[in-house]
């Protein structure tokens, strides 16, 4: 089990420089993050046999800070969804303290919720994506999962660094993760989105009610309600924009410079059609076809989705004007992301996490707060304003600590 859960294991671990801020922290990654000489297939036949030629910036930063990269684990094809993912499970087993997972729809947070871990998606543009083999540039980023929130904070301190090579990074000052312990989170203001409550199935609604009461009682943080009128448009916008970007960025997989090449092609066009046809599985293909449809058949709908995205950002900012974060449930018990075989099922499973990918806001999954009637930990998700990452982590620490010793049910 353990051996097949890895895609690659580093055998010779280098000795870290001393003193090292991450003090030998064991880090597991996905095979879409470049480490020189490691197999880096991003879970796709399109990168069959590909070995990275250079280290990703985040890999260099982790190593410099004294972390051990122990290997990589399985991931879904090109990081869309969670089918086949083994990172969270290996972290839960204690193989590594933290895992780096690409968060496009909420993969890092939802995988963490399933494995009863913490899962953090930082603000868009605060962690370099150079060397990350991505799919949806405007919405994906490197997320961090771990058993201890402190480990996640340390890892973030190490990897949230400016990278002149990644021009998509934010121009604002990067969050100061060293400040997390000193922030005052006991008076944090939490809100729930009313329109989100309307989407909950009854089982979810009961569990959520329970979680909010627990946060109020143990952490002493009252939770108010706020409006986000177009909340129901987050998923459609994510799908239109995400699929268009995916179809565009998957264009580079042509089986010429790397990856799978069809053995049977009588000419140039057949080579591209068949190599790409054989490279992608049905789930990602559906997504790429959807993106092609918006681009080539209904371009106005892509532009309109981007208009709505601007509006959603405004609404999210407004909803958080007087608060520190929004509260959601991470998981939806009736929608298992590990079994989702279609794009629709995938999006259903990620319904509450994907909003933060649309807005680029930081978001954290907290375990151990909420169980449903079947004793399943559904996870609580906090999403804060852009670049408020340290305060969000500080609130998560506060809630999580105040909950220690309290049983779930």
Partner 1 sequence: MNACERTPCGILRSSHVGTTITLAGWVDSLRDHGEVLFIHLRDRSGVVQIVFRPESTPFEVCEQAAFLRNEFCVSVQGQVVSRELGTENPHIDSGQIEVVASALTVLNKSETLPFPISEKSMVAGARPQGEEAINEDLRLQYRYLDLRRPSMQERLIRRHQITACVRRYLDEQGFVEVETPMLTKSTPEGARDYLVPSRHHPGAFYALPQSPQLFKQLLMVSGLERYYQIVRCFRDEDLRPNRQPEFTQLDLEASFIDEEFIYTLFEELAVRMFAVGGISLPRPFPRMTWKEAVETFGTDRPDLRFGMTFVDATDVFSHTSYSIFRRILDRRGCIKGINVKGQSASLSKNVLQNEYAKEIVPGFGAKGMTWMRMVEGRLESNIVQFFTEHEQQQIIQRFAAESGDVLLLIADPSWQLVCSALGQLRLHVAARLNLVPPGAYFPLWVHSFPLFEATEQGLSSNHHPFTMPDRVDFDPSNMEELLSLNSRTYDLVVNGEELGGGSIRINDRALQNKVFLALGLTEHDVEQKFGFFLRALAFGAPPHAGIALGMDRVVAMILNAPSIREVIAFPKNRSAYCPLSEAPSPVSRAQLAELGLLDIEEPETLPGSEQQHDLIESLSWVSRIALTDTERPVIAESLEHTRFLADTVNTHAGDHEPLFSAVPLEHRTREGTQPRICPLAENRQLFKNAPALKGGFFKVASILE
CA angle, 380 then 358 then 280, to 5°: 100
Footprint of partner 1 on residues 73-102 (CB under 8 A)? none
Of the two residues 203 and 293, which places its CB atom closer to partner 1 in the complex?
293
Q: Near partner 1 by CB under 8 A, which window of 95-103, 144-152, 271-279, 367-375?
A: 271-279
Which of 294, 326, 364, 378 is the binder for partner 1 (CB under 8 A)?
Answer: 294
Which of 25, 108, 237, 327 is the binder for partner 1 (CB under 8 A)?
Answer: 237
Minimal distance, residue 121 CB to partner 1, in Å: 12
Which of 125, 362, 367, 368 is the binder for partner 1 (CB under 8 A)?
Answer: 125
Minimal distance, residue 348 CB to partner 1, in Å: 12
**C-alpha to C-alpha distance for 114 and 333, rounded to whole angstroms:** 10
Minimal distance, residue 191 CB to partner 1, in Å: 20
Minimal distance, residue 195 CB to partner 1, in Å: 14
The answer to whether residue 240 forms part of the interface with partner 1 (CB under 8 A) is yes
Minimal distance, residue 297 CB to partner 1, in Å: 7
Footprint of partner 1 on residues 296-355 (CB under 8 A)? 296-298, 300-301, 303-311, 313-314, 342-344
Nearest to 85 by CA among 349, 382, 303, 287: 349
38 phi and psi angles, rounded to 5 deg: -85, 145
Which of 277, 334, 373, 401 is the binder for partner 1 (CB under 8 A)?
Answer: 277
Of the two residues 127 and 219, which places its CB atom closer to partner 1 in the complex?
127
**C-alpha to C-alpha distance for 116 and 365, rounded to whole angstroms:** 9
Of the two residues 137 and 333, which places its CB atom closer to partner 1 in the complex?
137
Footprint of partner 1 on residues 202-221 (CB under 8 A)? none
Footprint of partner 1 on residues 154-193 (CB under 8 A)? 164-165, 167-171
**C-alpha to C-alpha distance for 398 and 329, rounded to whole angstroms:** 18
Of the two residues 36 and 116, which places its CB atom closer to partner 1 in the complex?
36
Of the two residues 227 and 311, which places its CB atom closer to partner 1 in the complex?
311
Judged by CB under 8 A, the number of residues near partner 1 is: 80
Which of 208, 280, 328, 350 is the binder for partner 1 (CB under 8 A)?
Answer: 280
Minimal distance, residue 190 CB to partner 1, in Å: 22
Which of 150, 195, 278, 376 is the binder for partner 1 (CB under 8 A)?
Answer: 278
Cβ distance 381 to 362 under 8 Å? no
Footprint of partner 1 on residues 47-76 (CB under 8 A)? 49-51, 53-54
Minimal distance, residue 265 CB to partner 1, in Å: 5
Which of 265, 335, 402, 408 is the binder for partner 1 (CB under 8 A)?
Answer: 265
The answer to whether residue 386 forms part of the interface with partner 1 (CB under 8 A) is yes
Of the two residues 116 and 335, which places its CB atom closer to partner 1 in the complex?
335
Minimal distance, residue 59 CB to partner 1, in Å: 17
**C-alpha to C-alpha distance for 399 and 219, rounded to whole angstroms:** 5
The answer to whether residue 5 forms part of the interface with partner 1 (CB under 8 A) is no
The answer to whether residue 359 forms part of the interface with partner 1 (CB under 8 A) is yes
Of the two residues 330 and 357, which places its CB atom closer to partner 1 in the complex?
357
The alpha carbon of 219 is separated from its chain's Cα centroid by a whole number of angstroms, namely 26
């Amino acid at each position: 089990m353990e051996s097949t859960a890895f895609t690659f294991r580093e055998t010779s671990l280098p000795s870290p420089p001393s003193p090292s801020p991450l003090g030998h922290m064991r880090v597991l990654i996905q095979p879409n993050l470049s480490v020189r000489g490691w197999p880096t297939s991003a879970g796709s036949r399109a990168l069959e046999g590909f070995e990275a030629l250079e280290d990703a910036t985040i890999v260099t930063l982790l190593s410099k800070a004294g972390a051990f990269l122990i290997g990589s684990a399985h991931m879904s094809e090109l990081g869309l969804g969670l089918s086949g993912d083994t990172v969270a499970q290996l972290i839960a087993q204690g193989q590594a303290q933290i895992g780096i997972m690409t968060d496009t729809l909420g993969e890092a947070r939802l995988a963490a919720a399933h494995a009863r871990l913490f899962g953090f998606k930082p603000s868009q543009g605060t962690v370099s994506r150079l060397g990350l083999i991505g799919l949806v540039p405007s919405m994906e980023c490197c997320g961090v999962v771990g058993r201890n929130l402190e480990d996640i904070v340390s890892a973030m301190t190490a990897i949230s660094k400016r990278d002149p090579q990644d021009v998509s990074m934010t121009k604002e000052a990067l969050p100061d993760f060293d400040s997390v312990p000193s922030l005052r989170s006991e008076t944090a203001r939490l809100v729930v989105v009313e329109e989100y409550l309307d989407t909950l199935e009854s089982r979810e609604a009961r569990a959520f009610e329970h979680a909010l009461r627990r946060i109020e009682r143990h952490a002493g943080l009252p939770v108010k309600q706020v409006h986000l009128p177009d909340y129901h448009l987050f998923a459609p916008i994510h799908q239109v924009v995400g699929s268009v970007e995916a179809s565009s960025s998957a264009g580079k997989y042509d089986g010429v410079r790397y990856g799978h090449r069809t053995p049977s092609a009588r000419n140039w066009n057949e080579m591209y059609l068949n190599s790409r046809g054989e490279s992608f599985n049905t789930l990602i293909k559906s997504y790429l076809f959807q993106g092609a449809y918006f681009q080539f058949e209904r371009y106005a709908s892509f532009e309109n989705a981007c208009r709505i995205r601007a509006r959603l950002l405004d609404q999210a900012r407004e909803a958080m004007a007087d608060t520190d974060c929004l509260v959601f449930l991470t998981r939806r018990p009736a929608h298992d992301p590990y079994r989702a075989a279609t794009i629709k099922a995938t999006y259903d499973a990620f319904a509450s996490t994907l909003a933060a990918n649309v807005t680029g806001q930081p978001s954290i999954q907290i375990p151990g707060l909420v169980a449903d009637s079947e004793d399943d930990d559904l996870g609580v998700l906090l999403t804060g304003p852009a670049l408020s990452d340290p305060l969000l982590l500080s609130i998560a620490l506060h809630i999580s600590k105040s909950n220690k010793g309290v049983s779930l049910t």
